[in-house]
Structure 1
Amino acid sequence: MMPGLALTMLVAAAIGVDLIVGDPRRLPHPVVLMGRLIGALEARLNRGSVRARLWGGRLTVLITVAGTFAAVWGICRVLGAIHPWLGLAAELWLISTAVAIKGLAGAGRAVAEPLDRGDLPAARTALGRVVGRDTQALDAAGTARGAIETVAENTVDGITAPLLFALIGGAPLALAYKAVNTLDSMIGYRTQRHENFGRAAAKLDDAANWLPARLTALCFCLGSRRAWRSTRQDAPKHASPNAGWPEAAVAYRLGVQLGGASCYQGVVSQSATLGEPIAAPDARHIERAINLMHHAWARFFALTAALMIAVTWLIPAGGGV
């Protein structure tokens, strides 16, 4: 494994690549390959009795996560053996694919810009590309709320969590985390089809995001003790053990209320409300949420990178005592 400072510099460079380039559509994306693998495994293993589906889901998780880690480690190792700079370039690019700063900001602005000019249908369509809820009947406030929730929640699984795992284990661990996240997004639902098969994926995703969600919420709230106190009170109300933390933090920083009623395939779902309805969400709040997202990931990276560098320096010193 790379020393802490070297790995931190590599991850910082990967952040720069994502901010400048984003996800080029012409290049194969690792998450697409993960999705294909998960789909193939589900077609074969999501069948039979409840017990068979449970074990099929566990096997799918094991193959996908371990296989991703091994494949990325192998690619970096082989290319590094050919030339060290080639191995570093591969790891740099792979880490950048695990981070979605530019993509998340772009998804938020794709809703904010038409909403700001009064084009509600276009804003609804843009929101519909990144959320699972029905968007065609949303008013302007509901559309803005959906975009803010997307930016808040995905700051964790799209930015800070992969950064944390990259700082711990480089590209192999960062992409293994993305495999966990992709598994949850594809099969981690409490539907008839995935209730048993996706249980292991959902629990592993909850465990992987537990610490990043809380640290990210803290980074959102830096500078506002009141927001942090209120976030700690509201976050546990959310059905997800992790999503409520960044959403509550952003809600209190913006002075809006998130959560409440949403419609999925014609069925209304009621979730806990987070924050205070000081103002109705609008395009300006989406832009402010994006700015908060940038501040939060930068603080998160500075904090976790400093901790990792300190740990790598202290462990050898402790071992020599």
Structure 2
Amino acid sequence: MNVAAAVFLGFLLDCVLGDPEQLWHPIMGIGSMISFWSKKLRTWFSDSERGQLRAGVVLWFVVVIPSWLIPAAILYAAGWIHPVLAFILETVFCWQIFAAKSLKQAALRVYCALQKKDLQEARKYVSWIVGRDTAHLDAAQVTKATVETVAENTSDGVIAPLVFLLIGGAPLGFAYKAVNTLDSMVGYKNEEFLYFGRFSAKMDDVWNFIPARLSGLLFVLCAKPARLDARGAWKCFRRDRLQHASPNSAQTESACAGALGVQLAGNAYYFGTLYEKPTLGDANRPIEPEDIVRTNRLMYWTSTVAVCVLCAVRWTIMWKLGW
């Protein structure tokens, strides 16, 4: 039961405090580990397709295993000193794993720039949270990119971490964040990472398969309390949730598009190359900056419902098992 309590309190801390910029964050450590081993492994293995594929597999294991092992060892040592210390540390770890408030704040930076009609500033802020090229985006495209990011990262930053935290505590939560960070750093289909990052990209798809679908369904269920179109969310979720090269990305984006009554996705440039992608949702109206605020509201409704329901389920299971 302590794990569920730590997860619940960690989520509350994230909602209130977010990620204080003055504090070192464990995800920065994971990012540094990825950068360190990427440089080493790419020189240790051959430049051939097979060599880079093997290097990418090794990279995944040398990053994910320590990301699980280190917090597990810290919590074990803390529990040996006193169970209360272990609970406090696990709560802090859960707080650091969730990313609801930081996601909201990142989106609101873009929203405020758009409200000021400062397109250059809006492009700068959206470039911090998306992988596509942003230098030539217009205001509508900046808005769309921000909405898509909030929708997709509701799964990556809240729901998926929640699922893994409740299964295996903070150690498994950090392992998931390592999987997700690997994908965001090396999981690209460009010349540099096509083979080296392939295993990381595929493993991210595997780990997010169930959480992404759960997140999409929760978007549909929470659309009405978030004062959005629940019927539209369900319609677009059923129709468009597989309309993406990734098996997971369109799960939340399609539901979000339907809830807002706008069209998302479509063609985009990455590293100077145009990628043709299908659209999600129906263009019932033009997208507008207020849709960023609406998506943030949907994200918080979805996250709160998920945390309350899944923590209650874990509590109930542990109580029934007498643990």
Scaled to the shorter chain, the TM-score interval is over 0.9
Counterpart amino acid of residue 299 in structure 2: M
Choose from 216, 236, 247 the match for 1:241: 247
Query: What do you get for the CA RMSD once the two structures are aligned?
Result: 1.7
Of stretches 242-251 and 83-92 in structure 1, the one that deviates more from structure 2 is: 83-92
1:274 matched to which residue of 2? 280
Distance 1:209 1:106, change over 3 A: same
Structure 2 equivalent of residue 160 of structure 1: 159
How far did 1:118 drift?
2.0
- SS in structure 1 at match of 2:266: strand
Partners of 1:221 and 1:227 within 8 A in 2: yes
2:168 maps to 169
1:216-235 superposed matches below 5 A: 216-222=215-221, 223=224, 224-235=230-241
Give the alignment of 1:1-321 within 5 angstroms. Answer: 3=1, 6-46=2-42, 47-48=45-46, 49-222=48-221, 223=224, 224-315=230-321
Shift of 1:226: 4.5
Alpha-carbon distance, 1:7 to partner: 1.8
Distance 1:199 1:91 in 2: 32
The change in CA–CA distance for 1:225 and 1:315 in structure 2 (over 3 A counts) is farther
Kindly state the Cα deviation for residue 288 of structure 1 after the two structures are TM-superposed.
Answer: 0.3
Q: Indicate conservation of the 8 Å contact 1:232/1:245, yes or no.
A: no
CA distance in 1, matches of 2:295, 2:98: 18
- Stretches of structure 2 that go unaligned for 5 or more consecutive residues are 225-229
Secondary structure at the aligned position of 2:268 is classed as strand
Residues 199 and 265 (structure 1 numbering): CA distance in 2 closer, same or farther, change over 3 Å? closer
Q: 2:277 is paired with a residue of what secondary structure?
A: strand
Give the letter for the 2:79 counterpart. Answer: G
TM-score (norm 1): 0.92
> Contact 1:11–1:92 at 8 Å: present in 2 too?
yes
Identity %: 38
SS, match of residue 269 in structure 2: strand
In 1, the alpha carbon distance for the partners of 2:12 and 2:187 equals 31
